[in-house]
Amino acid sequence: MKINILTLFPKMFDGFLSESIIARAIKFGAVEVNIIDIRDYCFDKHKQADDMPFGGGNGMVMKPEPLFLALENVSGKVIYTSPQGKTFNQEIAKELVKEEELTIIAGHYEGIDERVVENKVDMELSIGDFVLTGGEIPAMTISDTIIRLLPDVIKKESYENDSFYNGLLDYPHYTRPAEYKDLKVPEVLLSGNHKKIDEWRLKESLRRTYLRRRELIENRELTKLEKKLLDEIKKEEV
């Protein structure tokens, strides 16, 4: 897979690309990430990538020419990180990971010229209802979520248990020691009975989702076991 990121601040991605899972994925060839400096497509003396908005108002707008030129050198679906976009989630990530190439435009200032959005952008994505300095962090968030779903980047069973992957929040995790400051790990996790452990994890995943994100439960088609466990949870949480 190839991911291209168009940005005014390419150095922001240095740490993102050189550490942890993303660095390993790049090293063994699961993904190619190209950070494209939009100013490389600004040909005036000052490499100006933004200008004042027509009609007046505060802030600056990213100019259309550099973006149109930069997009001529990439292919695949074009994503624009925008507060006006659809909220990014795991389901969108599972669809995007099927693409061979993605290009993400990291917006800045008051955004990009609307002509770019109307003629070049396939999808606008937001990572939440809050304001950031620019689109670089959303671009990293989207890329990270997609890359970890690529084959062999991490074990499939690892991400299948992540919050939201299967529509539920994740269950609690514990590690050694089994007791610390009189705080004990649940006995079932020490039992070696994998069937009981799996059921406990499913129940605790349902419990967290029911208590913290109930709408996810309401939108889910529950299995027979999940219905049974949820009934138990409702009685326990009264």
Can you give the CATH number for the domain in which 134 is found?
Answer: 3.40.1280.10
Residues 114 and 72 in one domain: yes
Q: How many CB atoms lie within 10 A of CB 228?
A: 13
Residue 107 annotated as lining a ligand binding site = yes
Which H or E element spans position 90? helix 90-96
Residue 130 annotated as lining a ligand binding site = yes
User: Cα(144)–Cα(156) distance, rounded to whole angstroms?
Assistant: 15
Give me the active site residues, please.
83, 110, 148, 162
Residue 155 — pLDDT band, cuts 50, 70, 90?
Answer: confident
Residues 142 and 200 in one domain: no
Residue 132 annotated as lining a ligand binding site = yes
Residue 115 — pLDDT band, cuts 50, 70, 90?
Answer: very high
Residue 85 annotated as lining a ligand binding site = no
* Burial class of 55 by CB neighbour count within 10 A (0 to 12, 13 to 18, 19+): exposed
pLDDT for res 25: 98
Residue 9 — pLDDT band, cuts 50, 70, 90?
Answer: very high
- Is the pLDDT at 137 greater than 90? The verdict is yes
- Is the pLDDT at 36 greater than 80? The verdict is yes
Residues 151 and 170 in one domain: no
Residues 182 and 111 in one domain: no
Q: Which domain holds residue 119?
A: 2-156
3-state secondary structure 135-176: CHHHHHHHHHHHHCCCCCCCCHHHHHCCCCCCCCCCCCCCCC
pTM (2 decimals)?
Answer: 0.87
pLDDT for res 163: 61
Q: What tens digit of pLDDT does each residue of 184-237 get?
A: 999 999 999 999 999 999 999 999 999 999 999 998 999 999 999 999 999 999
Residues 192 and 226 in one domain: yes
- Is the pLDDT at 166 greater than 90? The verdict is no
